[in-house]
Structure 1
Amino acid sequence: MPLSIFTLSNRRGMAVKISTQGAALLSLQAPDRHGQLADVLHGGQPDDGIHLLPAPGRALHRQAWHAVPLLADGSVGVRLVSPGTPAVVARYVLDDAGTLMLHCEVPAEAPAAFCLVATLRVPGHLLAVQAGRVAPAGAHEQEAVGTAWDFRQPRPVGELAGAARYLAAPDGALALRLQDPGGGRLLVLEGTLASLRLACGAVAGALQIEPVLAAPAGWIAFRCSAQT
């Protein structure tokens, strides 16, 4: 199946590019407080796309998905279906308020979870993470409060100590907030998240994100805005 790239745009000037290879996000153009657009994604990284967990040997992020466009009042989107069995159904929808929604579904008898891998451009950004516990790479799961991975208050992304997987707070909350102090651009990631892995990317000024959703269905929202 040939690969295609779908572009979604809204009235605020935002533009999102999605590849049928792995249902991956390639680009997300968002405006700052002055209306200047910039791509907040480092698209085209090897692991980008949707992964089924566990699914040894399938590597859905490297396969061509079937896609059809979606149109509705005030929003545009694309529906993608992975090859093989069980099939993952992913729907990206961009609205005029600046929110990109990803809905994922998989048959109930399928493996336990799926995740989206993407890499953000975050030079000079401040990071805040609402979470309860954290599992740093190579270490045991622990309370996030009071550790090097405590990002309840905004801190420079560069202070993230390696890779870590964040788990929900007791009230179920798990969310990420990234702010560019210079341009005022703000990105909030939230959803029905089971966990959220963060790691400083191989590219300078990059942050790899891996939000995990429990099967059979879940959603992720990327909310883009600009602070004056």
Structure 2
Amino acid sequence: MTLTTGISRAPFGQLPDGRAASLFTLRNRSGMVVGISDFGGVVTAIHVPDRAGVLANVCLGFGDVEPYRTVSPFFGALIGRYGNRIANGRFNLDGVAHQLDINDGANHLHGGALGFHRVLWQASVAADDSALTLRYHSPHGEQGYPGALDVTVRYALGDDNELSITFDAVCDRATPVNLTNHAYFNLAGRDDILGHELMIAADSYTAVDAALIPTGAQPPVASTPFDFRLPQAIGARIAADHQQLRNGAGYDHNFALNQPAPGARMLAARVREPSSGRVLEVFSDQPCLQFYSGNFLDGSLGAGSQFAYRGAFCLEPQHFPDSPNRPHLPTTILRPGQRYHSEMGYRFSIAE
């Protein structure tokens, strides 16, 4: 019998140590289907209808665990302990220097080579099939981070076609925490994403150097190719003569969101794909959003044009990059007795 709503579980492959990965399939009453694995918490697929009611997968992913373990560039993954880059993989905390795993040139990216995207999480499904919960205990010293961190991530698929992701974490000693999801989207399910129309609710962005480390400048987006306050095609200005676009090989930048108040959930971004009519809205309570235009995709990771150069984009709710080294920015340090909590959502609809 085919499951029409709820959550089902199936094998997703075996890890080298013999442990089995699973794939959980979430279905709602609106016909939306989402695949999530307990390996890396990866969102493997998101099937949503176009204006004609035809379902297509709008999220890049693989059909089994092995590519996620070896070659995946964070497709759909849970990111931690720290999303984005930390310069030279080093920071000082309470007078103690810490060296993290170096996995991006000279820098630390997305929690390290064996970050949360490459661990097997403990999975459980709510008795009423309303949510999938993943848990992970990150020990002291993992990828260089101080203290043990216990993380809980909850995925829920609503009948309003919103996939909500809730993060909670506690620690036994001070440590940086900046959790997010790294889904790659192509709302047409084919071709490139340059014609997708993007809105980002941000008046400024983070300037970066050639290694994509923040320079310290937070320029206004006004009168630059980074102004997405009104919807603009992603490809309209991506080839403009602008040093920041050269540094990022396109868009690979953090935007400071126009939050009404710290921690307030807001519409951070909206993307419309004209040919299909599909719309993605990204909701977040985080202060920033990373926009990446698929500049390093090259077709080597899978068949289909969406795996090719600029065949997908990412919108990652987060804190400022490299903030453990920048005391003027909002803190990302979690301390014993505190609870990290954040919420984000990917909501899909059809443009009228």
SS at match of 1:107: strand
Aligned residue number for residue 185 of structure 2: 120
- In the alignment, is residue 206 of structure 1 matched against residue 312 of structure 2? yes
Change (3 A) 1:53 1:143: farther
Q: Return the alpha-carbon distance in structure 1 between the equivalents of residues 259 and 224 of structure 2.
A: 18
> Partner letter of residue 182 of structure 2?
V
Q: 1:98 touches 1:223 (CA, 8 Å); kept in 2?
A: yes
Structure 2: tracts of 5 or more residues without a match: 1-18, 63-71, 84-99, 102-113, 139-147, 188-192, 210-214, 239-244, 298-307, 320-331, 335-339
Q: 2:79 touches 2:115 (CA, 8 Å); kept in 1?
A: yes
Structure 1: tracts of 5 or more residues without a match: none
Q: Return the alpha-carbon distance in structure 1 between the equivalents of residues 168 and 22 of structure 2.
A: 22
> Partner letter of residue 123 of structure 2?
A
The 5 A counterparts of 1:132-171 are: 132-138=203-209, 140-158=217-235, 159-160=237-238, 161=245, 162=250, 163-169=252-258, 171=260
Change (3 A) 1:186 1:63: same
Structure 1 residue 102, shift from structure 2 partner: 0.2
Which structure has the highest helix share of the two? 2
- In the alignment, is residue 30 of structure 1 matched against residue 48 of structure 2? yes
Which structure has the highest strand share of the two? 1
SS at match of 1:76: coil
Aligned residue number for residue 58 of structure 2: 40
Structure 1 residue 174, shift from structure 2 partner: 5.9
Q: How big is each residue's C-alpha offset from its partner over 1:173-194, in whole Å with a ceiling of 9 and x where there is no partner?
A: 5611110112211110011122
Structure 1 residue 205, shift from structure 2 partner: 2.5
SS at match of 2:117: helix
Residues matched between the structures, number: 226
Q: Return the alpha-carbon distance in structure 2 between the equivalents of residues 200 and 61 of structure 1.
A: 20
Q: How big is each residue's C-alpha offset from its partner over 1:134-192, in whole Å with a ceiling of 9 and x where there is no partner?
A: 01442532112222100011111223442111112263556111101122111100111
Q: Return the alpha-carbon distance in structure 2 between the equivalents of residues 92 and 7 of structure 1.
A: 11
SS at match of 2:287: strand
Aligned partner of 2:158 among 83, 95, 102 = 95
Q: 1:30 touches 1:40 (CA, 8 Å); kept in 2?
A: yes
Q: 2:259 touches 2:287 (CA, 8 Å); kept in 1?
A: no
Q: 1:196 touches 1:211 (CA, 8 Å); kept in 2?
A: yes
Change (3 A) 1:147 1:53: farther
Q: Return the alpha-carbon distance in structure 2 between the equivalents of residues 91 and 181 of structure 1.
A: 32
Task: Return the index of the structure with the highest Cα Rg.
Answer: 2
Aligned residue number for residue 30 of structure 2: 12
Q: How big is each residue's C-alpha offset from its partner over 1:30-83, in whole Å with a ceiling of 9 and x where there is no partner?
A: 1112111111111243223122244935511111111111254xx732100124
Q: Return the alpha-carbon distance in structure 1 between the equivalents of residues 26 and 45 of structure 2.
A: 10
SS at match of 2:205: strand
> Partner letter of residue 80 of structure 2?
L
Change (3 A) 1:32 1:54: closer
Q: Return the alpha-carbon distance in structure 2 between the equivalents of residues 11 and 77 of structure 1.
A: 14
Q: Return the alpha-carbon distance in structure 2 between the equivalents of residues 14 and 3 of structure 1.
A: 23
Q: Return the alpha-carbon distance in structure 2 between the equivalents of residues 209 and 176 of structure 1.
A: 8
Aligned residue number for residue 193 of structure 1: 286
Aligned residue number for residue 50 of structure 1: 78
Structure 1 residue 25, shift from structure 2 partner: 1.0
> Partner letter of residue 116 of structure 1?
N
Q: How big is each residue's C-alpha offset from its partner over 1:105-143, in whole Å with a ceiling of 9 and x where there is no partner?
A: 011654232122121114331111111320144253211
Q: Return the alpha-carbon distance in structure 2 between the equivalents of residues 170 and 99 of structure 1.
A: 21
Aligned residue number for residue 76 of structure 1: 130
Q: 1:66 touches 1:83 (CA, 8 Å); kept in 2?
A: no
Q: Return the alpha-carbon distance in structure 1 between the equivalents of residues 312 and 223 of structure 2.
A: 25
Q: 2:25 touches 2:34 (CA, 8 Å); kept in 1?
A: yes
Q: 1:132 touches 1:170 (CA, 8 Å); kept in 2?
A: no
TM-score scaled by structure 2?
0.59
Change (3 A) 1:142 1:114: same
TM-score scaled by structure 1?
0.89
Q: Return the alpha-carbon distance in structure 2 between the equivalents of residues 110 and 78 of structure 1.
A: 26
